[in-house]
Structure 1
Amino acid sequence: MTDAELAAHLAETAGRILLEVRESGVFSAKALGKAGDQTANQFLVHAIREARPDDGLLSEEMKCDGERLGKSRVWIVDPVDGTREYGEARQDWAVHVGLTIDGVATVGAVALPGAGMVLRSDQPQAVPAPGSPLRMLVSRTRPAAEAVSVAERLGATLVPMGSAGAKAMAVVRGEADIYLHSGGQFEWDSAAPVAVALAHGLHCSRIDGSPLVYNQEDTYLPDLLICPKPLAAQILSLITETKAAA
């Protein structure tokens, strides 16, 4: 099984497990997110260690012992990206399984269990052309100020959505055109989505235009931009102008 096939298989299987946990009716709404996170994480961690014992591993739900820092190949997973949305039985949550090689998001799969699909880095498809007006994804609970300002300057429509993975995959699927985030994230929030988006030919970077670098000692990776390549220069310029005016 290739790395990409493994990532897709694990993301899909973890998604099925999460749906079963939610549908069991055993957990209260308050406890459901934690139960789902822990169950999916246990499966993913054990499966990756069994299938790729020599690789490093970083998970949101696992304490890091630092061993991954000496590895070239490091799996970065988020068992439930969008815990709130998962608990609310919405569709905009995801499972992230990504593989970084020398700090680059190289292989990835993002499962959208609520929609019954897995998007993969090894099965790229043509991304639909941007809409008119442009559609910019923002957090449904805390839209980033930079994103709102840039959207105004572009004349873009704001599209509220839940998890980072769901937003990134909405760009991949052509449901939106721009995902601009500056409100704080960690490596597991973007590694798998960025691998998938890059494979589909999209621009992915920090909001200052610098590369997204993974498997760092400090896993805080607070911002990113995912969009079609022809839009990237204009958006990055507007971000710079917005920051200068703040």
Structure 2
Amino acid sequence: IGLLLAYTLTYAWTSLKRESPWLNSIKKFNINLALFMIIITCATNNYLFKTLTKHFFKKQIIAQHQQQPINQLQTQYQALHQRLLDIGFSWKNQSKHAVIVGYRNNQPLYLCQKKMGMYFFGGTVRKNTCQIIKNSKVINTKNFTILNGPQQAILWKPWPNYYQTPEKSAFSVVTGFNGKNALFVCRVIFNNRIYIGTNTIPNNCLFIVKEKLISAPSLQYLYAIEK
């Protein structure tokens, strides 16, 4: 609209003042302005231009829509992780104050964590090795951290819903985020033994038995209690 107004005014002025030689520069400006407006009009109303623009913005909107749920889940994981730190828990290389989450063969079970790429993965310690699950594969690593903190501040209880906690002051313990879901801690009894696993699907616990992945209905979930 601004360009059209400028063109109209200058054209009218040059029409009235044809005898003035200094108006030649304005006439040239008028011609250039007209050509510019024609090019812009053709470009913005071109079918190919509209199609490409629509396709580009559609891809941007879809990408943002797909990314939003993942960002929300990661934010939830970070919030739970921070709450765990706020009440005295921490991930350390040493096991001096390691949290015992169960026993198997009269040996204590500890939670471990390993950073791989951008994300953290949780597992259990077995023979000084952290066993984690990544992309449906068992990974053993010697470089890991162990959950340390107040033993009395944890409890195991059934969990019918991720956001329905057994007590007002209790919240879910998470050991990592695999890029898609937070990794909640679950435990089951399998072959009369306790196994600790991770949970991303309601009522389904994924754990390791002799280097193999086993899936079973979750018996209990791990919570931390705020004072």
Say whether the fold is shared (TM-score over 0.5).
Answer: no
Query: Which protein shows a greater Rg?
Result: 2
User: Where is the helix percentage greater, Structure 1 or Structure 2?
Assistant: 1
User: Where is the strand percentage greater, Structure 1 or Structure 2?
Assistant: 2
Q: TM-score, normalised by structure 2?
A: 0.26
